[in-house]
Amino acid sequence: MTTRRPHILLTNDDGIHAPGIYNLWLGLKDYCDLTIVAPAEDQSGSGLSITTSKPLHIRQVPWEDTTTKAYKVNGTPTDCIKLALNVICETRPDMIASGINRGANSGRNILYSGTVAGVIEGTLRNVPGIAFSCDNFEKPNFARAQNHVYLFVKYLLEHPLPPGGFLNVTFPDHEGPVKGIRLAKQGRSYWVEKPQERQHPEGHNYYWLGGQRHHVEEHEESDVELIKNGYLAAVPIQIHELTDHAQFEGRKSAFEDWINARLG
């Protein structure tokens, strides 16, 4: 009996021609049926944004493997997943794999990441997913990362997370083999703005937002700390329930009494 190969939908935020998504494809092509739907251009930092101010266009692009169908969309990663699930894919994919991102989506940077956003959009539609990133922004070791991606896909297919859950996987920046793989907690550090002022030829000033990592004291099991020490970190993220239940229960009566007393 022939075993059905899983159907994996690939996306990213660095754009369809970025090397990271090519290495992601290389790491999965021998084990999975793949469809690629990715932004036509770099959409880094786009988060969960969607495009509502212009029409979206889907264009098929040639790929190295003729069995892989690849499409570019003139929008964000979230746009890509919405169109993939509603227009492009004839059958529902078994999983979404996003990346491999240039630069770490560790810590609270995931709130800005279009790579993570593509997975979140699928998770909202009960399609499981994994977001992959490399810690090194300038010279990410995509080739080493590609050797590990199927391991995570296989695990998640065989051991699904609860609804609303996905994995955020970050590869460390160091020479030599990965020290090990650790299930981690999402760290708290993030990139803060460092605006760079420039002068336009017409005379007015403009800015490149720029940024630098804001470091905080991290738990030893955080992705930030583990990656720094040479480990590959995988964080289970949960978005099914966004309510702070402790505050809901603890504040409900006092909050409603205080607000309602001042309405009239």
**What are the CA-CA distances from residue 81 to residues 172, 213, 258 (Å)?**
27, 29, 43
Is there a domain that residue 200 lies in? Answer: no
pLDDT of residue 214: 66
Collapsed DSSP state (helix, strand, coil) of residue 197: strand
pLDDT of residue 212: 66
Asked if residue 122 has pLDDT above 80, the reply is: yes
**Does an H or E element contain 153, and which?**
helix 142-158
- Per the structure, the complete domain to which residue 14 belongs is given by 7-188+217-261
Q: Which residues pair with 33 in a beta bridge?
A: 7
Could you please report the per-residue DSSP string of 90-150?
A: SS--SEEEEEEEES---GGGGGT-HHHHHHHHHHHTT--EEEEEES-SSS--HHHHHHHHH
Task: Provide the pLDDT confidence category of residue 210 given band limits of 50, 70 and 90.
Answer: low
Cα gap 190→145, rounded to integer Å: 23
pLDDT of residue 211: 66
pLDDT of residue 19: 96
**Whole-number mean pLDDT of the chain?**
92
Cβ pair 148, 177 in contact under 8 A:
no
Is there a domain that residue 140 lies in? Answer: yes
In the chain, the number of structural domains is 1
Asked if residue 234 has pLDDT above 90, the reply is: yes
Q: Which of 180, 38, 23 is nearest to 117 (CA)?
A: 38
Cα gap 71→15, rounded to integer Å: 11
Average pLDDT over residues 135-155: 92
Is there a domain that residue 96 lies in? Answer: yes
Is there a domain that residue 208 lies in? Answer: no
**Does an H or E element contain 79, and which?**
helix 77-83
Cβ pair 140, 207 in contact under 8 A:
no
Is there a domain that residue 158 lies in? Answer: yes
Cα gap 36→96, rounded to integer Å: 10
Task: Provide the pLDDT confidence category of residue 34 given band limits of 50, 70 and 90.
Answer: very high
Is there a domain that residue 11 lies in? Answer: yes
pLDDT of residue 2: 56
CATH code of the domain in which 104 resides? 3.40.1210.10
Is there a domain that residue 122 lies in? Answer: yes
Cα gap 241→75, rounded to integer Å: 28
Is there a domain that residue 123 lies in? Answer: yes
Quick: pLDDT tens for 163-185. Answer: 999 999 999 987 777 889 999 99
Asked if residue 1 has pLDDT above 60, the reply is: no
Amino acid at 154: K
pLDDT of residue 16: 97
pLDDT of residue 174: 74
